[in-house]
Structure 1
Amino acid sequence: MASPPVLYLKSIKLTFGATPLLTGADISVGEGDRITLVGRNGSGKSTLLKIAAGMVEADDGERFVQPGKTVRYLPQEPDLTGFANTLAYVEAGLGPGDEAYRAQYLLNELGLTGEEAPAALSGGEARRAALARVLAPEPDILLLDEPTNHLDLPAIEWLESELKSMRSALVLISHDRRFLENLSRTTVWLDRGRTRTLDRGFAHFEAWRDQVLEEEERELQKLDKRIEAEEHWMRYGVTARRKRNVRRVELLATMRREKREHRGPQGAVRLEAAQADASSKLVIEAKGVTKRYDGRPIVENVSARIARGDRIGIVGPNGAGKTTLLRLLTGDLEPDEGTVKLGVSLQMQTLDQRRDSLDPETTLADALTDGKGDWVVIGEEKRHVIGYMKDFLFQPEQARTPLSALSGGERGRVMLARALSRPSNMLVLDEPTNDLDLETLDLLEEMLGDYTGTVIVVSHDRDFLDRVVTSVMMAEGDGRWTEYAGGYADMVAQRGAGVVARGGAAKKPAGDASGSRTAAAPATPAKNRAKLSFKDKHALETLPGYIEELTDKADRMRKQLADPQFYSRDPKGFSLVSAALADLDEQRSRAEDEWLRLEMLREATEG
């Protein structure tokens, strides 16, 4: 028999203005569930998660959380105002009985010290602090809204591992396919205000979604035929009894209303790049390129030859210099040493990571037409700006909306629309997947597959890299870069490891030519060495005291249960203490096993 849910939402309804956002959304979360919540941008996923967290009240419907269960919610834009530093912010999220050491441990794992002042944090650093805050208490239910945003690959892969090891039930919203495939066991699809549930992970979602939409289309076609038949009867049928006629008129009116009120799937993004004449065969030739900042090498003696049609992915941890390498290769930044030669007839379009080229006061229509009227020219095709806006899921009434009023996802679509409307034979994409929904990512990948020019992309999205690029330039540390043939998974197979955080990058063997444009030979994994992490060392020091505390509690409970009058006096209390004692014994057994494992690891390290 299935255990009762620890949290559920039933028949949730919510309207913003005159538009219904949620019209009957349900979610049921059981112990240890791994649920991903998917849907188009603007479908109400974040709002539904806030309702689950108790932060937004629905117009109608039911929300239930089992008494005593803890819920933690990760917002997209955390607020650290009022805290002295990041450690104070994370510690404020701990409850009675939570392990205090986890605050510092998680901050360290996420690349923070705990001393950072909130006012000086970047968006990515604030996001990491917020992650530490919700993970530290190890709550019963974790509600995570885009947890991988602003994280680099080492942090994303660490987060995956951490979430897998936790007992918390998870509800995730993310555009990172690989992250969802690795963690989810149930998929909830929010579509046109209602939810559908697939009792399988995200890897099976897209085939199921397509099947649902095909069935819906067939039902709509059947409705059309029924309406056509009833209209024919109304015009030409022999008059029958008046009562029957009234019934059929009412039936026709009901079917017409059903068709009129049917909300089809949200319009699909239409992506098509305006392509210029082909560039020369050699697009970029870099020889011995070096760039240093404050004496620290970011790019050190890198050479590369990029030919027409190549698709190059640039990967590495935050701070490794990915954007710097990109700017050097495209001629946007002068190297300290070495040369970069660009091919002839090169027409380059760039999607920058921070959307810096967008003037926040410019209207949406002017951003797409450069303020030159109402038409967008794509190749040889001239299209009205309103029609082009619709291709990217914008409504006609948004034409005069300033860009400052758009969401992050909408600004991302504006940048895509601008870049793809201009003739190019080379696309430079710096974190193009930020804030894009899964369907838009699908179409972007298809468009890049059909694009005949050259593509250079910086991304932390492993699935996107595997689908798009033909080779990967990997930051090896100390300014060294190596190119590997294939996508991200191919790079991991050849190198023997994925992207690691700065300071932990694998060293290249002596004599290896830095930055050579050849597929690297498969790396030989280093021998496994016993090593105690910060968490292990802290646990080794604190576990004996914790075990002793559990032992004392268990002894007191045993004395209480030894009282022959206890059961007859309070049968319910006797049952509760017995259950609590069994739980304490299990906790102590696990703690003793963990201490023994760590003690053996310590001895191996010292040996």
Structure 2
Amino acid sequence: MAPPILKLDDIFLSFGGTPLLAGAGLQVEPGDRICLVGRNGSGKSTLMKIAAGMVEAQSGEVFRHPSATIRYLEQAPDFAGYSTVQTYAEAGLGPGDDPYRVTYLLEHLGLTGEEDPNRLSGGEARRAALARVMAPEPDILMLDEPTNHLDLPTIEWLEDELRKTRSALVLISHDRRFLEKVSNATVWLDRGTARRLDRGFSHFEAWRDEVLEAEELEQHKLGKAIEREEHWLRYGVTARRKRNMRRLGDLHSMRANYRGHKGPQGTVQATVTEAKESGKLVIEAEAISKNYEERTIVSPFSLRVHRGDRIGLVGPNGAGKTTLLKMLTGELTPDAGIVKLGTNLEIATLDQKREDLDPEETLSHYLTDGRGETLLVNGEQRHVAGYMKDFLFQPEQIRTPIKNLSGGERARLMLARMMARPSNLLILDEPTNDLDIETLDLLQEIVAGYNGTVILVSHDRDFLDRTVTSTIAPAVPDAPDGRWVEYAGGYTDMLAQRKGAQEERRHAEKQEKARSEASSPSVEPAKAKGKLSFKQKFALENLPKEMAKAEADIAAREEKMADPNLFTKDPGTFNRLAAELEKLREKLMGMEEEWLELEMLREELEG
């Protein structure tokens, strides 16, 4: 086993009251891809900052290898003193680092490098910060919510880039699919301590449930042991007083452990306050379109949304998702076409822009709109402190200013306010940002079981697959031209349908090409004879064998690369296999196309 390049042991940190970290640890070795998971407020970001040297623990040991380089992705980058994004990103390079890496990363992240850092959107700032920390290829790369504000193509590119990097990774993310694809180890931060599983995130939830069940069983056994000891002390023989006193001390110790046990943090308990049923037809859009200057954002698009539909909107940043959403809800008038909204609509909106919150406003004032200390939820008057508790806020936070909340707590607060308002149409814009896994599970259940209608914009592929009944996406994903298409099912279903349509189109193009070649002068001699040339016949007979061999070679390499420890143990072999796999796939595709053309030519000549 390689020696650790970073080790945190028995870390303690408290801001008063219950300690945030109490004996937590973290160990990073070369090749590690660690996902750091836990509830909002469990101290994930704080532990990562301690590891990066940005926060000092009150006690505990921190070891960083003297020659190790560490880069930490800042949530709020400081652009002061930088005239362009290029200069900001290049400032993260060290001696001997390749400056071309900055240009390469900025290009793939959708930035030119000439942008003014002080005029960047939230998503652009996140991309610039990613380029700065990734460019040096440090020994340890620490990424806190790297996918926030990124669109799906960029997230998928980032996954590939992180799988190829030589850097060890420590990741915090709400995106299940992202963690499943990138991680090979999981550290669970729970009630101040850290547990490690040497497997990726896909195995985490089953393991977590096993740990909690075992813990609950131990508590049950301890309770029974206390009952037995109490019975012995009351009714047992009292002649051996010293032994009795010892057992009495043991009983006091067991009682203290039992009472002092702090169970896992509760789950959010909430349901949406539903309004009266809307009309059966919720939205009808007929040939709506929108242009900004010379650019087409939405070309004529028609859609019928019925009560109970759950529709996902996906696409690259700047494709026009928000514009289309605003037109569908009547907030924006289309340049052409008509939008008709159904009857009895009560709309509740969850906006991704957390900055719209007033940082000086208290939680109580925000939830009640300043109308006292009660609010109406599902027809029942609730005290704001009790309602806040459903969303894991403590009663003492009732007067806390919003500016003191973490990103995850702000997301939960906005969720609490939205759910308290009667609605039959939910509009959710990036609802999964900053939510922990457990709260995501609750939101997923709410959306899937909502009796009204849902339209959501999200880059979270797993969330889309679990919730929506149809997906609207650009017709041309890599270069949106204003055309939008509705696909049945979630994100994965959309990809499958899109792939099927592409294959059908390629097949039709090949058929047309083969027909044109069969009738062209170049094949006239063969056509006159009514048979293929010797070379063509040989290829037609032998290509299936070569394709089968290529498929076997591909399967063999894929099996070797499926070993989760291969990259850690032998990154050179992993990279070689990846390059060979790419070449074999290209070769197989070329052989398939050649065989199809020859087979179609043979049918043409014989028919």
TM over 0.5: yes
User: Counterparts of 1:546-561 in structure 2 under 5 Å?
Assistant: none
Q: Which stretch of structure 1 is more off in the superposition, 335-344 or 63-72?
A: 63-72
> 1:327 touches 1:333 (CA, 8 Å); kept in 2?
yes
User: Counterparts of 1:17-166 in structure 2 under 5 Å?
Assistant: 17-166=16-165
SS of the residue corresponding to residue 438 of structure 2 reads helix
Q: Are positions 1:478 and 2:477 aligned together?
A: no
Which residue does the alignment assign to 1:509? none
Q: How far apart are residue 113 of structure 1 and its match? A: 1.0
Describe the shift of the 1:443–1:298 C-alpha distance in structure 2 as closer, same or farther (beyond 3 A).
same
Q: How far apart are residue 238 of structure 1 and its match? A: 4.1
- In 1, the alpha carbon distance for the partners of 2:505 and 2:470 equals 20
Residue type at the aligned position of 1:97 = G
Which residue does the alignment assign to 1:489? 492
- In 2, the alpha carbon distance for the partners of 1:334 and 1:9 equals 56
Specify which structure has the higher proportion of helix.
Answer: 2
Which residue does the alignment assign to 1:231? 230
- In 2, the alpha carbon distance for the partners of 1:310 and 1:173 equals 32
- In 2, the alpha carbon distance for the partners of 1:459 and 1:155 equals 13
> 1:493 touches 1:522 (CA, 8 Å); kept in 2?
no
Which residue does the alignment assign to 2:314? 315
> 1:8 touches 1:27 (CA, 8 Å); kept in 2?
yes
Which residue does the alignment assign to 1:427? 426
- In 1, the alpha carbon distance for the partners of 2:97 and 2:138 equals 9
SS of the residue corresponding to residue 111 of structure 2 reads coil
Q: How far apart are residue 231 of structure 1 and its match? A: 3.0
Residue type at the aligned position of 2:484 = W
Which residue does the alignment assign to 2:256? 257
User: Counterparts of 1:558-577 in structure 2 under 5 Å?
Assistant: none
> 1:271 touches 1:444 (CA, 8 Å); kept in 2?
no
> 2:41 touches 2:406 (CA, 8 Å); kept in 1?
no
Q: How far apart are residue 236 of structure 1 and its match? A: 4.2
- In 2, the alpha carbon distance for the partners of 1:309 and 1:521 equals 31
User: Counterparts of 1:329-368 in structure 2 under 5 Å?
Assistant: 329-355=328-354, 358-368=357-367
- In 2, the alpha carbon distance for the partners of 1:391 and 1:287 equals 42
Deviation sequence 1:495-535 (CA, Å, 0-9, x none): 129xxxxxxxxxxxxxxxxxxxxxx787646999xxxxxxx
Describe the shift of the 1:212–1:524 C-alpha distance in structure 2 as closer, same or farther (beyond 3 A).
farther
Describe the shift of the 1:521–1:456 C-alpha distance in structure 2 as closer, same or farther (beyond 3 A).
farther
> 2:363 touches 2:400 (CA, 8 Å); kept in 1?
yes
Q: How far apart are residue 326 of structure 1 and its match? A: 0.9
Q: How far apart are residue 258 of structure 1 and its match? A: 0.8
Q: How far apart are residue 22 of structure 1 and its match? A: 1.1
SS of the residue corresponding to residue 20 of structure 1 reads coil
Q: How far apart are residue 434 of structure 1 and its match? A: 1.1
User: Counterparts of 1:131-530 in structure 2 under 5 Å?
Assistant: 131-355=130-354, 358-476=357-475, 477-496=480-499, 524=505
Q: How far apart are residue 66 of structure 1 and its match? A: 2.6
> 2:88 touches 2:132 (CA, 8 Å); kept in 1?
yes
- In 1, the alpha carbon distance for the partners of 2:100 and 2:430 equals 34
- In 2, the alpha carbon distance for the partners of 1:522 and 1:385 equals 56
Describe the shift of the 1:383–1:523 C-alpha distance in structure 2 as closer, same or farther (beyond 3 A).
farther
Residue type at the aligned position of 2:54 = M
- In 2, the alpha carbon distance for the partners of 1:328 and 1:234 equals 75
Describe the shift of the 1:264–1:474 C-alpha distance in structure 2 as closer, same or farther (beyond 3 A).
same
Deviation sequence 1:528-586 (CA, Å, 0-9, x none): 9xxxxxxxxxxxxxxxxxxxxxxxxxxxxxxxxxxxxxxxxxxxxxxxxxxxxxxxxx9
Deviation sequence 1:136-159 (CA, Å, 0-9, x none): 111121111111111111111110
Q: How far apart are residue 358 of structure 1 and its match? A: 3.8
Deviation sequence 1:187-227 (CA, Å, 0-9, x none): 11010111111111100100110111111111112222222
Which residue does the alignment assign to 1:15? 14
Deviation sequence 1:440-460 (CA, Å, 0-9, x none): 001110111221111100001
- In 2, the alpha carbon distance for the partners of 1:402 and 1:217 equals 36
Deviation sequence 1:1-58 (CA, Å, 0-9, x none): x222222212222222343111111222221111111011111111111111122222
Q: Which stretch of structure 1 is more off in the superposition, 4-13 or 229-238?
A: 229-238
Deviation sequence 1:63-112 (CA, Å, 0-9, x none): 22233222221122221211221111111111122111111111111111
SS of the residue corresponding to residue 188 of structure 1 reads strand
> 2:448 touches 2:468 (CA, 8 Å); kept in 1?
no
- In 1, the alpha carbon distance for the partners of 2:297 and 2:259 equals 59
- In 2, the alpha carbon distance for the partners of 1:302 and 1:199 equals 49
Deviation sequence 1:243-293 (CA, Å, 0-9, x none): 112112211211121122211111211121111222111110001111222
Residue type at the aligned position of 1:279 = S
> 1:495 touches 1:523 (CA, 8 Å); kept in 2?
no
Describe the shift of the 1:333–1:51 C-alpha distance in structure 2 as closer, same or farther (beyond 3 A).
same
- In 1, the alpha carbon distance for the partners of 2:367 and 2:506 equals 49
Residue type at the aligned position of 1:493 = A
> 1:174 touches 1:180 (CA, 8 Å); kept in 2?
yes
Gaps spanning 5+ residues in structure 2: where? 511-571, 591-607
Identity %: 65
- In 1, the alpha carbon distance for the partners of 2:504 and 2:357 equals 42
Q: TM-score, normalised by structure 1?
A: 0.81
Q: Which stretch of structure 1 is more off in the superposition, 406-415 or 318-327?
A: 406-415
RMSD: 2.5
- In 1, the alpha carbon distance for the partners of 2:417 and 2:263 equals 28
SS of the residue corresponding to residue 189 of structure 1 reads strand
